[in-house]
Every structure is written in structure tokens, then in C-alpha cells.
Chains A and B, each alone.
Chain A
Amino acid sequence: MAVLRPAGEFDQSYAYDIAIIRRRWQWIALGLFLVFLYTLPLYASQGLVAFINRVAISVIAVQGLNLLTGYTGQISLGQAAFMTVGGYVSALLVNDLGVPFPLALILAALGAGGVGLLFGLPSLRVKGFYLVMATLAAQFIIPWFTRNTFPELLNGAQGLNVKVPVIFGFEFNEPQRYVYLTLSILIVTTIVAQNVSRSRLGRAFISIRDHDLAAELLGVNLFKYKLQAFFLASVYAGIAGSLAAHQLRHINSESFNLNDSILMLGMLIVGGLGTGLGPFLGALVIELLIEVATLLGPVVSSLFPNSAGGIQALRPLFFGLALMLFLIFEPRGLAHRWQLFKASWRLRPFSH
């Protein structure tokens, strides 16, 4: 769908033409929203802040997945495994070597990216469903390595306790403080993701998704760009994994598992594949759904005496049902709905 612009708005300079945020009131709204987000920890409840924290970390991981699956069209079931890599790398660096947290975060991202490259290699030979299996293999092999190799370093299945990140003497030791860290990093990752998708790189990704053969004939190097997509996605996963590990202050091989990988793909579908807005909407909606499941859990437990604990049962049930409904009725996700809504508002009172 072509971008529909409000009446009377014209591009008068190149800078204006390529701007993401185009009008002054949008800048003001964004600024106010950020001020709101950043001051929220001062007066909001700890639960709400922790929720925002979780959503922000999910958004980062899903943004990476979006670059790989949404723009490049390579389906991955291994995002959580790359989060595990990121978490372990940054935990080890901070705990054992005393590396300052920002550097550890960057190294964790690069480490996860490297491992992602390794498991992206099969994408040169196979695609589609076969590639899903290769990434699924990552999801099993990586946690196995953390459980079984270097027991004195990785501490086996028990996992590691992770230190509180400290930047310039400021300890991010509780959700109210940690949220500043995640939000700031989220802003950076959003800017990067948004600009990658609009650049030469992003256009190459999209051309591979839409028709890989045609893309190759046009001179797009499939080998190079697919690996770059895998690398970028894993870097995002590494950042998210590191943030999550430092927030929970613990990581083991089960911290990020296959269900999380499925969850992230689900967030992407619900939000909208290949859109900048998608990861935000998807992560928010699915995390909200999980909150609802947590609330309803005790009620359900009392209704079904056999059940293991309603929360455990309701989470996959709600998520699965939501994903199925979206796949059947709105496969293009909430971002598409939002576009339609905006378009119909601009065209009002005409229907099209």
C-alpha cells in the first residue's frame, strides 16, 4: 500500500523527503512520550516498570528477528539460543574478567552474532523449511554446550549468577533503575533497525525475501546478505540476552528456550512482519496476554482441579490461540491494521 500522506504536505527538500519523523508536532509528541517513559519509574508501581522492562527486552530481540524473518524472509527458530549466547558471554565477561558492562554488552552482541553466522551457514544451501530445522538445531545444540562443556567456567545446568551492571558508578539494581538502561538501548536499536531497513542493506534483504532468484540476477549477493541478516539478528538477540541475564541476575541453559523462540516469532506475526512498528505492537500485545494469563491462572486452577497451575497452562493456550487467530484473520499483523486505520482516517469522509 502506498504511503498515504496528509493533504497539503509536500516534500520540499531531500532531508524532508527521507525523514522518518516528518512534522514538528510529531517530534513534540515523541519527545513528550519519551519524557513520560523516562519519568515513569519515579511514580509508577514496580510491577508496571518491570513489565515495561520485559516488553522492551522482548522488542529488542523481536526487532532482530524482524530483520531476519520479516525483511529477509529467512525463518528462524533459534533466536532464543542466540540470546543464551549473549547472556553467557556478558555474564562471564562481567563476573570473571571484570569488564565494564557497556563493553561486555557490545562483546556479547558480537559473540552472539558470530555464533549466529555459524548457524546461518546452512542458509546458503537450503531455505524455507529446511532452514527452520537448521535453526532448530541451534536451539538444541547451544544450550547443550552450556550445560555440558567447561563445567568449571559455565557451571553446568546450574548456570551462572550474574552481577548487577554498573555504569559510571550507577548501579542498575532494581527495575526502576534498570528500565533506564533497557529503554536507552531500545532507542538505539530502534534507530539502527529502522535505518537498516531503509538502506541499501534493507533493500537487498527485501529483494531476497520477495524473490531470491530475481535478486541474485539483479546482482544481490545472496551469500553475503543472508549472512549479514543472520549476523544482525543474532547481534540483537545477544543484546537482548545480555540485558535479560543482567536483569534476572541469573542465567542457565533453560533461561531462553524453544518456547521463547516460538513466542518471539508469534510476537512478530501478531505485530506485523517487515514493519518497524510490528515488534513494538507484537511484544506489547503478547506480553499483555501473558499478564492476563497470570491474572486468570488462580481462577482456572480452582476450576480444573487436575491442572498443574493455571498460569503454566494458560500461557501456551492463550498465546497459541491468539497466534492462530491472527494467522487466519490478520496475517499481516497489527501494524497493517494501524496503517488501514490511518488511511481511513485521512480519507474520511470518503471510503477510498
Chain B
Amino acid sequence: MNWQLLPQFLVSGLLSGGPIALIGLGIVLIFKASYIFNFAQGQMLLIGALLTWWLAVEVGLPLWLAILMALLISAVLGLVIERLALRPMTGQPLLAIILMTLALGQVLQGLALLLFGSTQRNFPQIFEAANPYRIVTPFVYNDRNITIILKQNLVWSFVIAVLGVVVIGGFYRFTRTGLAMRGTSEDHELAQSIGIRINRIFAISWALAGLVATTAGVLMATSSGLDLSLSVLVLAAFPAVLLGGLESIPGVLVGGLLIGMSQGLVSASKVQLVRNSAEIMPYVILMLVLLIRPEGLFGQRRIERI
């Protein structure tokens, strides 16, 4: 263990957990409403980021307008996906629904490749790259205080991600639509019988998921560049969702941050093999969660047991 590097890696790992949580939020939103686990979230995120890039760089809109437009388009895309692909699947067995979202991911991936190609794009920088934040910690190593250097985009994407989770959480907690969404997630038939139009709730969830995906996509593109591998990075979000508990919005934040931190923790190791394990760390945690506590940290103990 490189002790002098540990604080740095822990903090930057924690911060990188923010976007992971935001991606997970999109998955949780859809799952809460319709019990569909969206494997295509990564590709939705990719499409959102590519759209933003296209509007800002190729079309030449100002960045804020490009992001706004991309958010709008991806919300509509979410609606379209729900209507065309997932609505016909209502009441189908689990396998069909899982395969539908996987197929959706393939189609979106194909579309992204077809329209935008697979070259690495330079995403417009939103935050100053040259001027990182420095935090001096009280820990002393070699007679010097350990300084943590944080890139601005890492810090700000963390802040925005947390803000996103809080806003969506507040929307669920305090608005009328949010109440209807919570009701729907409890029981579809019951919700219908008291006059909630659950089709509309599903549609809203998918639109929100599209919004969240694009936000996460833009944040991840600013910190790790924009190409097709973006949809692979997203795979770290699935374990985060399960760790937090599938139905829990605060849980996804905690799960995302823990996953990010665990990746940071192993990156600080002196052993090459342990350092390399950062990429599968989420999945190792996933296996542990499944074996020890399948409902996750904050999930409801409702999963089907055998």
C-alpha cells in the first residue's frame, strides 16, 4: 500500500463515484416504476453525450444551448423507447424484458456507430483543466503535508451528480407526480385502481432516465473523453445499483460512492495485480453483495427467495 498516495486515490475515487451514482439513478428510476432493469442505460448515455458533442461542435451552438437541446432530445428518446420497445413487453417474462433492453442497447450502439463513427472525440471542456484544486491534508509524510490534487471537472461533476440525485430524490418525495410514481412502484394494480395512469408514470420515468443519462454522459465525457468505450465505463454502475439496493434513491448515491472509493483504494496499492483489479472491483463487490446481502444496503427485502 502506498500510504502517501492513499488519501489522493481515496478522494478522487470517491469523486468519480458521483457520475457512477448518476448513471445508477437512471436505472433505479426505471426499475422503481416498472421493474425493468435497463441494460441499455450505457448506450443511452453514449447517445446523449454524442448528441451534445454534435450540437456543440458540428452545429456550433453555444455549449449551454447544446446541452439543453441534448437533454430535451434524450428525454424524447426515452419516451419513444418506452412506447415502441418496452410497452409491448408488459406482462412478458423476465427473460424477454432483459433481452429487450439488451437488444435496445445493441440497436443504440449500432446507431451511434453509424451516425457518429468510433473515433475519439474532443469533448468541449466545461471546466478549467489547467488549474486543479489543491487540498493540504494534516497527514505528514517525509516531513511534508500530503497534498491532494483534484481536477476541477472531477470535483464539479461530483457536485452536479450529487445535486442530480438530490433533485430527483426531492422530486420523488415532494411532488404530486413523485407521489404517483412512488405509488406505482409499490403495486401496479393498486396504483391503477386509485386512478394513477401507470402508463404515464412509465413514460415519465423513461424520459427522466433519458435526462439523467445525458447529464451523466456529458459529465463523463468531460472527464474521460468521448468515444464508444463510454458505454463500457457505465458497466460499473450496475454493481453500484445493486450495492445500494435496487429501489433506493439514496442507496444508489451511497453505492456509487462506495464503488468509486473501492476502485480508488485498490489503485493505491503497490502490487501491480491489485492495482489492475480496479476495473473488476465493482464486480467483485457485486458477487459479495449477491452472496451476502442480495437486497443491497438500502433495498427492500422483497426479492424472490428460493
Contact = CB atoms under 8 A, between A and B. Distances in A.
Tell me whether A and B are bound partners. Answer: yes
A312 interface: yes
A102 interface: no
B191 interface: no
B194 interface: no
A93 B61 CA distance: 59
Contacts of A327: 89, 92, 96, 99-100, 103
B106 A265 contact: no
A121 B291 CA distance: 9
A162 interface: no
B227 to A, nearest CB: 10
Interface in B77-129: 85, 88-89, 92, 94-96, 98-100, 102-111, 113-119
A321 B107 contact: yes
A231 B37 CA distance: 27
Contacts of A228: none
A224 B96 CA distance: 26
Contacts of B115: 304, 306-307
B103 A323 contact: yes
Contacts of A141: 280, 283-284, 287
Contacts of B276: 144, 147-148
Interface in A268-306: 269, 273, 300, 304, 306
A319 B290 CA distance: 31
A204 to B, nearest CB: 15
B266 to A, nearest CB: 12
A149 to B, nearest CB: 7
Given A122-B290, A126-B303, A308 B113 contact: yes
A129 B98 contact: yes
A187 interface: no
Contacts of B284: 137, 141
B303 A130 contact: yes
A317 B89 contact: no
Contacts, number: 149
A328 interface: yes
Interface in B281-296: 283-284, 286-287, 290-291, 294
Given A125-B291, A300-B114, A262 B106 contact: yes
A132 B98 contact: yes
Contacts of A144: 276-277, 279-280
B96, B114, B115, B291: residue with the most chain A Cβ atoms closer than 10 Å: B114
B94 A265 contact: no
A249 interface: no
A315 B306 contact: no
A61 B214 CA distance: 36
B114 A313 contact: yes
Contacts of A316: 106-107, 109-110, 113
A320 B306 contact: no
Interface string B250-280: 0000000000000000000000010011011
Given A307-B113, A308-B117, A308-B118, A328 B88 contact: yes
Contacts of A73: 95
B304 interface: yes
Contact of A127 (B242, B286, B306): B306
A312 B118 contact: yes
Contacts of B89: 327-328
B71 to A, nearest CB: 23
B294 A137 contact: no
B97 to A, nearest CB: 9
B206 to A, nearest CB: 16
Contacts of A321: 103, 107
Contacts of A30: none
Contact of B103 (A121, A212, A324): A324
Contact of A128 (B119, B239, B304): B304
Contacts of A320: 103-110
* Interface-centre pick from A144, A222, A300, A320 (highest chain B CB count, 10 A): A320
B235 interface: yes
Interface in A214-261: 222, 259
13 contacts: A125-B305, A126-B290, A127-B306, A130-B242, A136-B283, A141-B283, A147-B276, A212-B306, A313-B111, A314-B114, A320-B107, A323-B103, A327-B99
The 6 closest A-B pairs by CB, nearest first: A317-B110, A320-B106, A320-B107, A313-B113, A308-B118, A323-B103
Interface of B: 37, 85, 88-89, 92, 94-96, 98-100, 102-111, 113-119, 235, 238-239, 242, 273, 276-277, 279-280, 283-284, 286-287, 290-291, 294, 303-306
